[in-house]
Amino acid sequence: MLFKNRHSVHPNSIERISAMVYDEYQTDIGCLRFVLRENGTLVRILLTDHHWFTFKENNAVKKSSELGKPIRQQFQEYVGGERKDFELPFELEGTFFQKQSWKALQAIPYGETKSYSEIARLINRPQAIRAVGHANSINPFPIIFPCHRVIGKSKSLTGYAGGLEMKKQLLRIEGVFI
């Protein structure tokens, strides 16, 4: 799925602060937390407790397992090796460059990897390797925008918001062993 962007909301909007819910899904690779609008549109996926607590401190969210059910289902299928792509409505915010970088992530086929420099070349910004790395580090939808498929030029594992062990496990799900 390439950018089924519903709409953008200004970062200082009251709606952004008030109308959100969350659900969580405990997997063998870790706890995934999904932040959604009350209409079911995905706003963010958080991979670590640190990111979750920081987000929760700054946003009013309440638990909703019912709204999170379709997301949990698709992630369960992915972790079980039954799903390669996600079909979820989401709300995307970011700069033009970040959105280009995230779109390039979606072009990396399941079970394959690319280096940061290859991503930079894909978006016609071959000198922007570090900027691509930064865009990956703030990816609002890890796994859906598969930044875990981006590795070092020497085929080494490099940073991941959920930690290198989670990145390694995600790649193993897809049949990539590094």
Least confident of 15-19, 28-32, 75-79, 96-100: 15-19
The CATH class of the 96-174 domain is mainly alpha
Greatest mean pLDDT among 27-31, 41-45, 157-161: 41-45
What integer pLDDT is reported at residue 19 of this predicted model?
78
Helix or strand run (H / E) with residue 128? none
**pLDDT tier at 169, thresholds 50, 70, 90:** very high
- State pTM to two decimals: 0.85
pLDDT for 164 equals 93
Q: CA-CA distances (angstroms) from residue 130 to 9, 55, 134, 138? A: 27, 25, 6, 13
Q: Where are the chain's structural domains? A: 20-80, 96-174
Rounded mean pLDDT of the chain?
88
**171 vs 2, more confident:** 171
For the chain, give the number of residues. Answer: 178
pLDDT digits (tens, 9 = 90+) for 50-107: 888 888 888 888 888 888 999 999 999 999 999 999 999 999 999 999 999 999 999 9
**Token pair for residue 143?**
């796994």
**Position 49 confidence tier, pLDDT thresholds 50, 70, 90:** confident
Q: Are 51 and 34 in contact, with CB atoms under 8 Å apart?
A: no
Cβ-proximal residues to 47 (8 Å cutoff; 6+ apart), any chain = 30, 32, 33, 142, 161, 162, 163, 166
Q: What is the dihedral of CA 118, 124, 129, 133, to 10 degrees?
A: -80
At residue 17, the pLDDT reads: 43
Residues classed as catalytic: 147
